[in-house]
Structure 1
Amino acid sequence: MADGISGRDLAALRDLLALKVDNPGPVLPWELMESARDLFHSDSIVLDRSQPALERFGLEQALGETQEVDLGGATDPHYWELYRSADACSYADRTGDISQVVKLSDFVSDRQWRASPMRLEYCFGRARALMAYLPDEPGHRTRLYLWRGPGRDFDERDRLLLTLLRPHLIAAFRAAERCRQAPAALTTRQLELLQYVAQGYTNMQIARRMRLSEGTVRTHLNHIYERLGVSSRTAAVTRMSTAALE
């Protein structure tokens, strides 16, 4: 297949997109991150949120051999000085382009990276990177890194796969944000159903997707209305969306 994407790659991508998760995770569902890590044969996958203009670290979610979460909040002026001087790090800040999937090797040679202060002080042991940006609120930068150690670099097959995956990562990121910030009174099952309502699915379509009867879907909706203090599908979705902005 063109660009090195095989039928096996596409099947793995479909399996990843078909994942059903119960926990939105700190930023992305852990199951989604694990599947993406394995799909790209990477040693680790990291998603971080930061505010470069304010030199402020945000939450970082990382998965290598173990799950790690750093809540951020610390300050490190030296890091941000190196960040601004490293083209690979500051690419989106300099260009405003967050749509492109980029590789570390797009910006530096192996020799340059091995000698760079950023690698020596903050990324030691990390030799190869593939990066995608996710849209976030103004002033915030959210990016996904796939890391490998010394050895084979990410190739155009990997870049294309991550480009295809990126819209779904964005959707998962936004859905996870809504789930985390939606009213706590709703159960995971009710939140899942409400996500389908927000996407315009009918009761019959929701019933098929969730393997429920239409009557059970109606019962769930009535319980959702009661808990949210609303009386319609539109009002329930609006209430959930408002909660995500609060």
Structure 2
Amino acid sequence: MAHLSARDYAEALALGLQLVELAVRRRPRIAARERRRLERLQPRLERMARLAQRCSEAPETPRAAAATHLTPREVDVMRWLACGKTDADIATMLAISPRTVHKHLEHIYEKLGVETRTAAVMRLQATSSMPGKREARG
């Protein structure tokens, strides 16, 4: 399996959403049971597509990587982590094992001087423009 970028993920979700919308709205011969399933799937795909789009539009983090000495792969893991993905999700999208993701996170925690996923994201957001970083208002 190839590495799945945030942009690829967003495009795949958008395509899936288009297919669901097409099936629900333009295919009268779909059984009522299948139509209900598709209708339940549609809002979930919409939420996932919005999140994936935000992640795909997020700026790269070279400044944060340089400041924290993260490897490019650790930056990939952190970008998906900041988007709320689980270790299993990240592993699938990066075409690595969940254990490898866990190992990357161990190294990230050590480099950032933190102990949790949330703390790692917050620390990196403080030094970069990772997804989810809020601009100070004033």
Compute the TM-score of the two structures, normalised by the length of structure 1. 0.29
Query: Does the C-alpha gap of structure 1 residues 216 and 183 become closer, same or farther in structure 2, counting only changes over 3 Å?
Result: same
State the alpha-carbon separation in 1 of the partners of residues 86 and 54 from structure 2: 25
Match of 1:18 in 2: 8
Question: Please, which of 219, 222, 243 is the counterpart of residue 106 of structure 2?
Answer: 222
Aligned pair count reads 79
Alignment-mate amino acid for residue 127 of structure 2: A
In the TM superposition, 1:23-62 aligns within 5 A as none
Question: Please, which of 37, 52, 74 is the counterpart of residue 190 of structure 1?
Answer: 74
Query: Does the C-alpha gap of structure 1 residues 181 and 212 become closer, same or farther in structure 2, counting only changes over 3 Å?
Result: same
Query: Does the C-alpha gap of structure 1 residues 224 and 18 become closer, same or farther in structure 2, counting only changes over 3 Å?
Result: same
Match of 1:180 in 2: 62
State the alpha-carbon separation in 2 of the partners of residues 230 and 221 from structure 1: 10
Compute the TM-score of the two structures, normalised by the length of structure 2. 0.51
Question: Please, which of 115, 120, 130 is the counterpart of residue 236 of structure 1?
Answer: 120
Q: Which runs of 5+ in 2 are unaligned?
A: 1-6, 10-51, 130-138
Percent identical pairs in the alignment equals: 35
Q: Quick check: 1:183–1:243 contact (8 Å CA) kept in 2?
A: no
State the alpha-carbon separation in 1 of the partners of residues 75 and 55 from structure 2: 18
RMSD: 2.4
Residue 244 of structure 1 deviates from its aligned partner by 1.5
Matched, 1:204 2:88: yes
Q: Which runs of 5+ in 1 are unaligned?
A: 1-16, 20-166
Query: Does the C-alpha gap of structure 1 residues 242 and 214 become closer, same or farther in structure 2, counting only changes over 3 Å?
Result: same
Deviations 1:3-34 (A, max 9, x none): xxxxxxxxxxxxxx429xxxxxxxxxxxxxxx
Alignment-mate amino acid for residue 201 of structure 1: K
Deviations 1:217-240 (A, max 9, x none): 110100000011111100110011
Secondary structure in 2 matching 1:175: coil
Alignment-mate amino acid for residue 94 of structure 2: M
State the alpha-carbon separation in 1 of the partners of residues 112 and 99 from structure 2: 20
Report which of the two has the higher share of helix: 2
Q: Quick check: 2:65–2:72 contact (8 Å CA) kept in 1?
A: no
